[in-house]
Structures are given as C-alpha cells and as structure tokens.
Chains A and B, each alone.
Chain A
C-alpha cells in the first residue's frame, strides 16, 4: 500500500523542515519527501489511482510528527469507570499524541514493584503507552528505582512532598540512574489550604485560595536541591509568572532544569470559575491563575523558557465532578484538546510543534520527517474553529475548554503506517 499526502505544510523543526510539499508513504515508512513539482510528476507516473495507491490532498493542513505527552491518568486497577487503557489510547490518538506516559496520581501511586509490574503487564498490548513511576513512596521512602527501570518504566515523578531531606536524597539517589525525573514543584502546606488561585476572584466569590507563593516556595526548594544534587529535573507544570521567572534564572545559571505547562493554562485563568458558576471542571492542581500569569506562560513557551506543553489529562467521573467545587476531585481532560489549545494560544507553528513534542525524549517515539522513518504523523487543519463538546474518546467529560473556541484541529492521526484516527464528519465544527 502506498499513500501520497499531497499539498501539505510539512513541519518538523527537529529536521529544519517548514515548507509546502508532499509525503510519499510506502510499506509503512516515509519513502520520500517531495516538492510540489516532484509530487505532480509522481502522480502523473502513477496514472489512475488504485486500491494499492492513494493520493490524498490536504491543502492547507499541517503535517507534523505525532506529539507526545506525560503523566496521563488511567484508572487501573480500581477506577476503570474514570478511564481505561482503551479510552485513554483513543483520546491520545484523537488528540494527535503518538506516545504518552501514564503517571502517578492520588490512588494510583506506582510506588511498589507489585504495582509497577502490574501496570507494565497491562501495557504490553499498548506499545505507545509507557509508565512513569513514583520517585518516593508517600514522600517518605525511596522507591526501588533500579528495579522499576528493569521492569520498564520510562521515568520517575514526584508530586507534592513535605520532607525536604527525603526529597534531597531521592534526587541524589535518582541521578546515577540517568532516567528522567519529573517534579511538580509546590509547597504542599501552602497548596492544601485552598481550591483555586488566591487573589481577587477567590476573595470575590468566597473560595479559599492557593497563593502563588505555594509554587514560588516549591520551585525555590527544587532549584536549590537540583543545584545541590546535580540531578536533572523536569518541572511538569509551572503555573505562574513568578514560576517562569524562577525557571529562567535557574536556566541562566546553567542548572539542569526544564519546565512544562498544561495546555489549558495558556487559555484559561481564574475568571473561568467565576464566569462558569463555580464549575468544578475548573478545579485544578495547580490552580488556574491570573490573566497576567497566563500571558507570562504563553510568553514562556514562545521564548523557550518553558520547554514543553502537556495535556495534564485526568478523567474524572460525574460523581467526582457533579458536586460542590471544593469537594470535587481536581483534574481535567486534556488529551483531545491540548494540541488545539496550544495552537490557539501561542500562534507560532514552530514552537507549537516543539513544545508538544518535547516529552518524546521521555516517553520515546521521537519521530522525524525523513526517508526511511516509520510513517507516524498528524494532520492538523489550522483553519477549523471549534468548541469542544462531549462525547469524548475519553471516558470523562470534565473538559473546561468547552468554554473556549479553539483554533485548528487534528483531523487525522497516521501511526506506524496506518490511520489510527480520522475526524468524523459529524464532529462539532462551528
């Protein structure tokens, strides 16, 4: 079977490709990258299309290697009503993500050899999904990092941790293994007192706030420990302008530290909760912060201070979200909207691709637009405007970006030489 994806905008910053052209796929691999002229000549030589040869014209569409994501939530083993591997995988494909990694969350810690082994056994049938295990158990005991690596994990994650000595030793312990260490930098005590960003809106609508200081203190401690331990760390999520400044200073100093941001944080701010009648879809950790913070995050992605954008995908059940804001479970969907949300917010195709492919170094599946590479790419129509609306491929429906009109949409995912997702005609395009 051969395909010619014609008349596309080829975009692969890693290969320095940013041009119009065509991609010739043969036996599941990229056979050639063609200019418009070369494509016309090939089509003429093919003559009439056959079942074995298809020319697909995607004028105006961006064709780029698939995106990658980290720290997605799956409800294994006991919360399959929230998300299972099939629905997670489908959501990733619909969102244009080729490789993703599941990460620890409340109730799914992946902090023992048993739980890691169980997950790895479940992932056998899902080669594009990897596992990120916990760095410590409950923030008090070092996990068996070496044995986890032997089991097949692709990195380690540390959420809020109170004991700084354990944290320091965990980074010292992790460093020689050379595996990615991902941290959400936060002071747990300062975060636990609230449910949304502390500021004008939280005061106005009577919700207890989480001060920006929670991130500043957490990030300051992390930066000191990275300096101390020499362990490279990726901050999964920065949420504030102050966080962006701290990250920039740490990088200037030459510390091995990188940072990410949730795609929705580039579009939404604290006003979401007020404007949507305390909608629990806006209950997130870290919280949506101010407009100024949001603008600083966008700027941070554009100037490269923030390296990656991720989906921060966490499907919740209706029971967990159809309740009072402060009692709801924090988290939101993201895989099916992150690519569009990032495109809408940053409007720079090169940084858009770079930031959404950044974590491929963690989860694997780093792909290129080169002859001989496995054909895995996304077709993205930048002209579509749409508003997310259920049903989703994910099992949940807690998508706060339903409040937004997004620019551009993944219309197809072509993975390992086959179509794995195409946008159906009845989709909610406005």
Chain B
C-alpha cells in the first residue's frame, strides 16, 4: 500500500521512491500522445491550494490532475488565513466539508501540510512547505537523473548554493540518499551550516572541489525571500565563488549533468552558456514534472481504494 500522503522524501523509502519513478515513466507516454487524457481519476476531486506564488509547480500539478480526468479546483491565498482570523486548521475543516479526495498544498511555513495530513482523511500532497521539502520536484529530479545515469547507487551528486533555505535541496538529499547516491553540498557557511553534515551529506565550501568528479551538479537559486539578516555579502561575490559559468564547468567531467530546479537567476548562480548548454537538463526536468505529479496523484488516490485503479 502506498502512503496516503506525500509530505516529503524524508518519509519515503527507496522502494516507494522507485515505485513513483517507475509509475511516472508509464505516464510519460500519455503526455506524448495527441489526446493527453486518461479516465484514471474520473469522479475524484483534487484541490490545489497554494498559499505562496508559483507558476511551474501549480501549472504542472493542474495539468497532471486534468490529464488523469480528476475534477480540479485551484485557488490561491496571498498569505496564511491566520492573518484573517481563521486558523489553517479551520480553513482545512471548510475544505474538508466539500469532500475532496486530495489536496495539493504549497505553504510558506514548514510543516503546514504535515499538520493537516494527520488530521484529515484525504490525501495531502506537499507542493512545497517553507524551507522544508518540495517532494514532487525532488522526485522529478531523481527521474531525470535516472533517465541519464540509470541506477543512482554510488553516483556523485553535488548540490551547490543556498542549501539551507532551499526545500528542493532537502528533498533531493533524502531521495538521493535513499537510492544510494553520494551527496556533496557546497555553499557559503551561512547557507551550508555545519549541521547539514548530520544529514549524511559531505559538506564542502568551494565549488571547484565538488565539480571535479561529480556525475551531477545541481545549482540552486538564492532564496532571497527566505533569507534572514546577514546571510550573504553581495550577489557579485556569491556569483564569483559559487556561480557556474562555462570556464568553471570545464573543471568538471565533460558528461556532467547540470540541473537547476528553477527559476534561474541567470548571471548569478548560473551563466546563460551553461543554462542553455549541452550539459543542461533544465527543460527535461520541467517535462518530467507532469509525469511525476500524475504518478503521485495516481498512487496516493489509489491508496484510498475506489476507482483510481482504472487502467492507464
């Protein structure tokens, strides 16, 4: 039985992650058909509740649900309902009264989806919570890596930049570790604090050290909206020491895979010649997003029983 909720890769084991990736591979073919729709989730209601801005994740989830024929209701809230006098729990109680089958939620506070998931019967899919996790992005990154590298066991993946504030980084660390990859993180001391090494990753502070024998280099955006005081000096210094340009890329293996969860700050962490270059998998990541999210909806709603077992 697959879990009811997808809250983070921290809570999934290797077998469950592999199931998602395998299922996503099946769904990928649907996205290449002329009629991109199957009746798998017909009659099921999926709510997309985003309490934070998003373009690609929200669109991707919406497309995924629609391609599975679910009834989709999407809404955004500019901030937590607490500020309007309603607790998040009360907001959820109201949504619950409309009998959804799944809620896909993005929220600026870490743990918000976890709190609701243990209180309600519907499936909760975390589309990003605070600085904690972004499991669907982590899974699509794993799928993209697996497409190119096969088994990820023993592969070296370098994650560079603002690891502490980046939820995708946390999901990737859990997923990659579960699948046996070796994860190296590199970034300024404030964005890669000592405690990260307790998570079973190798901690470095110089990008050149991690580029040399990496199979994958994942570059991260500076999460300006989440930074506290005095987390970095200037963008120019950051770019000089942690940015990836064509010259620096030459220090890596010629077949190194360059990834970025987007949106990219071109000219800061990633130079255009690398973002658009031959090693870049950035648009492939986006394409894989829909298939992974279809898989998540299929597997979580399937765990509830009912009709979601309809053939793909």
A residues bordering B, Cβ < 8 Å?
A: 193, 198-200, 202-209, 277-280, 318-319, 322-327
The complex places the Cα of A323 from the Cα of B87 at a distance, in Å, of 5
B90: chain A residues within 8 A (beta carbon): 322
Q: Are A324 and B111 in contact (CB under 8 A)?
A: yes
Q: Are A278 and B115 in contact (CB under 8 A)?
A: yes
When C-beta atoms are compared, the residue in chain A nearest to B108 turns out to be: A324
Q: A325-B111, A327-B80 are in contact. List 16 more A-B contacts (CB 8 A).
A: A205-B111, A206-B110, A206-B132, A207-B111, A207-B132, A277-B114, A277-B117, A278-B110, A322-B87, A323-B82, A324-B80, A324-B115, A325-B115, A326-B110, A326-B111, A327-B109
Q: Does B167 reach chain A (CB closer than 8 Å)?
A: yes
When C-beta atoms are compared, the residue in chain B nearest to A193 turns out to be: B228
Q: Are B118 and A324 in contact (CB under 8 A)?
A: no
B198: chain A residues within 8 A (beta carbon): 199-200, 203
B88: chain A residues within 8 A (beta carbon): 322-324
When C-beta atoms are compared, the residue in chain A nearest to B88 turns out to be: A323
Nearest-Cβ distance from residue A268 to partner chain B, whole angstroms: 17
A327: chain B residues within 8 A (beta carbon): 80, 82, 109
Nearest-Cβ distance from residue A333 to partner chain B, whole angstroms: 19
Q: A278-B110, A279-B115, A326-B109 are in contact. Are A203 and B82 (CB under 8 A)?
A: no
Q: Are A277 and B111 in contact (CB under 8 A)?
A: yes
* A198, A279, A324: residue with the most chain B Cβ atoms closer than 10 Å: A324
Q: Are A199 and B118 in contact (CB under 8 A)?
A: no
Q: How big is the B interface, by class?
A: 20 to 34
The complex places the Cα of A202 from the Cα of B80 at a distance, in Å, of 22
The complex places the Cα of A203 from the Cα of B88 at a distance, in Å, of 24
Q: Are B130 and A203 in contact (CB under 8 A)?
A: no
Q: Are B195 and A199 in contact (CB under 8 A)?
A: yes
Q: Does B101 reach chain A (CB closer than 8 Å)?
A: no
Q: A198-B195, A206-B167 are in contact. Are A278 and B114 (CB under 8 A)?
A: yes
The complex places the Cα of A208 from the Cα of B110 at a distance, in Å, of 9
B residues bordering A, Cβ < 8 Å?
A: 10, 80, 82, 85, 87-90, 107, 109-112, 114-115, 117-118, 129-133, 164, 167, 170, 193, 195-196, 198-199, 228-229
Nearest-Cβ distance from residue A160 to partner chain B, whole angstroms: 17
The complex places the Cα of A322 from the Cα of B90 at a distance, in Å, of 8
Nearest-Cβ distance from residue B234 to partner chain A, whole angstroms: 21
Cβ-defined partner of A325 (8 Å) among B109, B117, B164: B109
Q: Are B89 and A322 in contact (CB under 8 A)?
A: yes
The complex places the Cα of A318 from the Cα of B170 at a distance, in Å, of 31
Q: Are B132 and A205 in contact (CB under 8 A)?
A: yes
Can you name 19 A-B pairs with beta carbons within 8 Å? A193-B228, A199-B195, A199-B198, A202-B195, A204-B10, A206-B130, A206-B131, A207-B111, A207-B131, A277-B114, A278-B110, A278-B112, A278-B115, A318-B87, A319-B87, A323-B80, A324-B115, A326-B109, A326-B111
When C-beta atoms are compared, the residue in chain A nearest to B7 turns out to be: A277
B170: chain A residues within 8 A (beta carbon): 206
Cβ-defined partner of B199 (8 Å) among A193, A200, A278: A200
When C-beta atoms are compared, the residue in chain A nearest to B93 turns out to be: A322
* A202, A277, A323, A327: residue with the most chain B Cβ atoms closer than 10 Å: A323
The complex places the Cα of A323 from the Cα of B131 at a distance, in Å, of 17
* B82, B88, B117: residue with the most chain A Cβ atoms closer than 10 Å: B82
Nearest-Cβ distance from residue B89 to partner chain A, whole angstroms: 4
A205: chain B residues within 8 A (beta carbon): 10, 110-111, 132
A277: chain B residues within 8 A (beta carbon): 111, 114-115, 117-118
Nearest-Cβ distance from residue A88 to partner chain B, whole angstroms: 24
* A193, A199, A325: residue with the most chain B Cβ atoms closer than 10 Å: A325
Nearest-Cβ distance from residue A400 to partner chain B, whole angstroms: 14
A279: chain B residues within 8 A (beta carbon): 115
Cβ-defined partner of A278 (8 Å) among B111, B195, B196: B111
The complex places the Cα of A325 from the Cα of B132 at a distance, in Å, of 12
Cβ-defined partner of A323 (8 Å) among B89, B133, B196, B199: B89
A206: chain B residues within 8 A (beta carbon): 110-111, 129-133, 167, 170
The complex places the Cα of A138 from the Cα of B118 at a distance, in Å, of 40
The complex places the Cα of A199 from the Cα of B89 at a distance, in Å, of 28
A204: chain B residues within 8 A (beta carbon): 10, 199
Q: Are B109 and A324 in contact (CB under 8 A)?
A: yes
The complex places the Cα of A284 from the Cα of B131 at a distance, in Å, of 20
Cβ-defined partner of A324 (8 Å) among B85, B107, B131, B193: B107
Nearest-Cβ distance from residue B5 to partner chain A, whole angstroms: 10
Q: Are A324 and B195 in contact (CB under 8 A)?
A: no
Nearest-Cβ distance from residue B187 to partner chain A, whole angstroms: 14
When C-beta atoms are compared, the residue in chain A nearest to B129 turns out to be: A206
A319: chain B residues within 8 A (beta carbon): 82, 85, 87
Q: Are A203 and B195 in contact (CB under 8 A)?
A: yes
